[in-house]
């Protein structure tokens, strides 16, 4: 009788999952055996079903200091604060933090900055999209320059909607008189009166980071992560 009750319970659960919209459209739950597993992507086309393991480790000693396990849909770095806290509980003083481009995100950089540590994380093109061949930035004056020498003279904050979500950005306006006389006017702005530049709120900060990452200091230090990856794969 007990076996029958267990069988009925499992059968009912399986039926519930099979009828679930998440299972039918193959989003979220895909397994009757493992309801917590999810589909994740190593690249845009290379997917897997299961879990992700995220960890922190000491660069020189190759000792793992903290580990978290998430389902396959987990976005790298989302729970970085927990890893940092676990590492700190081990009485480890974090002065440098290495990671790949997936970890180049504002909240992660802020967490590292709060530690008083230096982040050695390459700029990600998905969050920083400035073409540095066309634009340069003066932090002190908060001005952008185009490749022809024109500079911005006004900045506005605006809102935009994308995929149903609203977000804020900066709109920089270049000198109108300069644009109108520029030999690249038609190529650059067509029939417009002046060039404008719409950027994310974090772009000025990311620009400064991108410039530092071109230095030999950064390049030499980041080689340590490459060494770490080689050791880990042995």
- Judge whether 130 lies within some domain: no
Decide the pairing of beta strands 135-138 and 118-120: unpaired
* pLDDT given at position 33: 61
d(CA 33, CA 30): 9
- Judge whether 101 lies within some domain: yes
* Per-residue DSSP letter, 158: E
d(CA 177, CA 185): 11
d(CA 25, CA 29): 9
Whether residues 117 and 221 fall in one domain: yes
* pLDDT given at position 234: 41
Domain span holding position 158? 135-211
Whether residues 225 and 111 fall in one domain: yes
Whether residues 47 and 14 fall in one domain: no
Whether residues 28 and 47 fall in one domain: no
Whether residues 206 and 228 fall in one domain: no
Whether residues 90 and 157 fall in one domain: no
* pLDDT given at position 18: 54
- Judge whether 200 lies within some domain: yes
- Judge whether 127 lies within some domain: no
Residues of the chain with pLDDT under 70: 1-35, 226-234
Whether residues 118 and 156 fall in one domain: no
Whether residues 102 and 148 fall in one domain: no
* pLDDT given at position 24: 42
- Judge whether 139 lies within some domain: yes
* pLDDT given at position 233: 47
Whether residues 24 and 83 fall in one domain: no
d(CA 203, CA 99): 20
* pLDDT given at position 164: 84
79: Cβ–Cβ under 8 A, 6 or more apart, which residues? 54, 68, 70
d(CA 226, CA 208): 24
219: Cβ–Cβ under 8 A, 6 or more apart, which residues? 213
- Judge whether 129 lies within some domain: no
- Judge whether 128 lies within some domain: no
Whether residues 227 and 167 fall in one domain: no
- Judge whether 194 lies within some domain: yes
Whether residues 16 and 63 fall in one domain: no
The domain total for the chain is 3
d(CA 98, CA 59): 8
Whether residues 104 and 46 fall in one domain: yes
């Amino acid at each position: 009788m007990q076996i029958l009750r267990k069988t009925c319970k499992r059968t009912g659960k399986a039926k519930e999952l099979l009828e679930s919209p998440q299972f039918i459209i193959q989003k979220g739950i895909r397994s009757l055996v493992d309801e917590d597993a999810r589909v994740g992507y190593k690249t845009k086309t290379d997917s897997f079903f299961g879990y992700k393991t995220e960890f922190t480790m000491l660069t020189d000693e190759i000792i793992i200091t903290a580990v978290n396990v998430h389902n396959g849909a987990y976005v790298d770095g989302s729970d970085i604060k927990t890893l940092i806290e676990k590492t700190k509980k081990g009485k480890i003083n974090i002065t440098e933090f290495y990671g790949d481009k997936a970890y180049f995100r504002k909240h992660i950089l802020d967490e590292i900055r709060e530690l008083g540590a230096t982040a050695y994380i390459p700029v990600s093109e998905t969050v920083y999209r400035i073409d540095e061949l066309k634009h340069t930035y003066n932090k002190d004056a908060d001005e952008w320059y185009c490749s022809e020498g024109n500079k911005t003279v006004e900045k506005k904050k605006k809102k935009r909607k994308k995929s149903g979500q609203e977000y804020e950005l900066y709109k920089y306006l270049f000198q109108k008189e300069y644009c109108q006389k520029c030999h690249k006017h038609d190529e650059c702005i067509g029939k417009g009166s002046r060039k404008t530049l719409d950027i994310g709120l974090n772009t000025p900060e990311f620009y400064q980071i991108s410039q530092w990452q071109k230095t030999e200091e950064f390049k030499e230090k980041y080689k340590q992560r490459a060494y770490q990856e080689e050791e880990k794969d042995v």
